[in-house]
A and B are shown apart, each in its own frame.
Chain A
Amino acid sequence: DIQMTQSPSSLSASVGDRVTITCRAGQNINNYLNWYQQKPGKAPKLLIYATANLQSGVPPRFSGTGSGIDFTLTISSLQPEDFATYYCQQSYSSTWTFGQGTKVEIK
């Protein structure tokens, strides 16, 4: 398995803050990296695929960068609806893996 490690595990931020979440892969995964947002009691929602491609309908304040083993999800100006848990996921190997999640809470 390719281990995916997210940091931080949780963070507190205020509306309007710039938020950065990192995801590190256990090996080079090229840019086979996706990001999902999950709100309590809801199914995950795709935000970004293949490292930097914004899913249709997702606000442009979300962006993704990275390559190799290090990847970043950035929210440029945190909005009230962005408080949620975020997961990275690799599809480089045939056995996909998710990160452990980063919970974004209200400060």
Chain B
Amino acid sequence: QITLRESGPSLVKPTQTLTLTCTSSGFLLHTSGVGVGWIRQPPGKALEWLALIFWNDDKRYNDDKPYSPSLRSRLTITKDTSKNQVVLTMTNMDPVDTGTYYCAQISEASGWRHYFEYWGQGILVTVSS
């Protein structure tokens, strides 16, 4: 069974940097799917895509670390296969960044058609002083 889990602080102060970790249970992240993505959801609102990271050279996008254009300057996604984790950092946190943050495994159908196949349960992050 594919299980992903997000971890990190539940509360951060404005201007601080948020660091979230995605890890897996029962399997190695980099041996399943083609990568991992991060998605967030403000309370009561829609899903917002944040970033992707691919295990190998991405053949479709020519960019193995795509970021949301509106958040690109604040986001960094990295992978550490030795620790079986993917880390997302977001700088200069603001109360509007409050929400549930999800990591999800990227799978691939023919023709490099990617999708989020398995999701973590999510972690609620509140930004408040």
Contacts and interface: CB of A to CB of B under 8 A. Distances in A.
Contacts of A101: 46-47
B116 A94 contact: no
Nearest to B100: A43
Contact of B113 (A1, A32, A43, A45): A32
Contacts of A31: 113
Interface in B78-129: 102, 107, 109-111, 113-122
A51 to B, nearest CB: 9
B115 A49 contact: yes
Nearest to B120: A43
Interface string A88-107: 01010111111111000000
How many B residues touch the partner, as a band?
A: 20 to 34
Given A49-B109, A55-B117, A98 B102 contact: no
Interface string A1-41: 10000000000000000000000000000011010101000
Contact of A36 (B68, B116, B121): B116
B47 A45 contact: no
A95 B49 contact: yes
Contacts of B115: 34, 46, 49-50, 89, 91
Given A32-B113, A34-B115, A53-B109, A96 B37 contact: yes
Nearest to A85: B46
A31 B113 CA distance: 8
Contacts of B110: 50
Contacts of B60: 94
A96 B109 CA distance: 16
A53 B63 CA distance: 26
A96 B120 contact: no
Nearest 10 pairs between A and B by C-beta?
A94-B61, A49-B115, A43-B119, A94-B66, A50-B113, A34-B115, A91-B114, A96-B49, A98-B47, A50-B109
Given A46-B115, A49-B107, A94-B63, 7 more contacts: A43-B122, A46-B116, A53-B109, A87-B47, A94-B62, A95-B49, A96-B66
